Amino acid sequence: MTRILFYLDEPGKEIWRPAFEAAIPGVEFREYPDWGTPDDGPAYVFAWEPEPGLIAKYPNVKTIFSLGAGVDHLTSDPDLPADVPIVRMSDMGLKEGMAEYVLMTVLMYHRYMPRMLASQRKHEWRRLFPPAASDVRVGILGYGALGHYCAQALKPLGYQLASWSRTAKPEEDGIRHYSGEEAFEDFLARTDILVGLLPSTPETTGLLNSRTMALMPRHAAIINAGRGSLINLGDLVSALDSGHLSGATLDVFVEEPLDENNPLWSHEKVFITPHIASITRPTTAAEYVAENIKRIESGLQPQNVLDRKRGY
């Protein structure tokens, strides 16, 4: 029998049990605090922001599945067992949701919607004529499973696509890949609309700051749907206020929810969404976990296992 130890401290969590019961017939789905004891037998954890030290109390856990794409909510636990694999969520629902968000926001900046809305608020009939998509350079910062799927959604529109990642990617039609520190500045210099999808690691923290944002073309825009630690927000506001950047859409922040008194809420060039760029969908997520459990029980490596040294 497959045993799932589930942790989610948010409203609406009742939708997860039927999803797992459909994906794994006969599953023993245990919702915290009813996790039982280690003597109950092998188990898999499926969790989002579990209490620090909780998982360490269950040495019967074979694998930890993150409910979302991020894993820092797990790795920040100093007591997390070092020998238990962590699987990052990368189901089709998560990919589709992120692609929808990125497509929406890229089009928003390409078609000058922030400027149109500003004109509307002033009751101004101001006609603006955006360039063709083929003249707009979109850069995807972080080219894992989500970044690749977003690129596939953008390709049919004809944008000039590029990506940047720490390690080299295979050649691909319709997208130019940059990799390594030596190529980062060139990547920024050719990017009109930047899509941030990087994980949170010591190397990515504050990667977008006053120096690096100054390398981007004047009037470039930033979309951050990866991790909040990517951007120095003070430097971002300065770049927006100076006119160097035309706008920013922010879905993620270091501290969430964003404080109601934070000046970003009222900044005329900033759009804020409450960490909803891509929400994990129960049906596809449960199927993803079920498929990985089959792999584990067959002696195979699960998909999308976290490399703890690299942080992703």
Closest to 198 measured CA to CA, from 244, 157, 231: 231
User: What's the rounded Cα separation, in Å, for the pair 278 and 172?
Assistant: 25
Residue 133: partners with Cβ closer than 8 Å, 6 or more residues away: 110, 157, 158, 159
User: What's the rounded Cα separation, in Å, for the pair 184 and 129?
Assistant: 31
Annotated catalytic residue: which of 115, 275, 281, 295?
Answer: 275
Catalytic residue flag (residue 17): no
Peptide bond into 85 cis (omega under 30): no
What's the one-letter identity of residue 111? R
Annotated catalytic residue: which of 110, 137, 177, 227?
Answer: 227
Hey, is 286 helix, strand or coil? helix
Catalytic residue flag (residue 148): no
Residue 210: partners with Cβ closer than 8 Å, 6 or more residues away: 232, 235, 238, 239
Strands laid side by side in the 193-196 sheet = 175-179, 160-165, 137-141, 193-196, 220-224, 245-250, 270-272
> Exposed/middle/buried for 101, CB within 10 Å: 0-12, 13-18, 19+?
buried
Closest to 292 measured CA to CA, from 108, 82, 24: 24
Asked whether the beta carbons of 256 and 232 are under 8 A apart, the reply is no
Catalytic residues: 227, 275
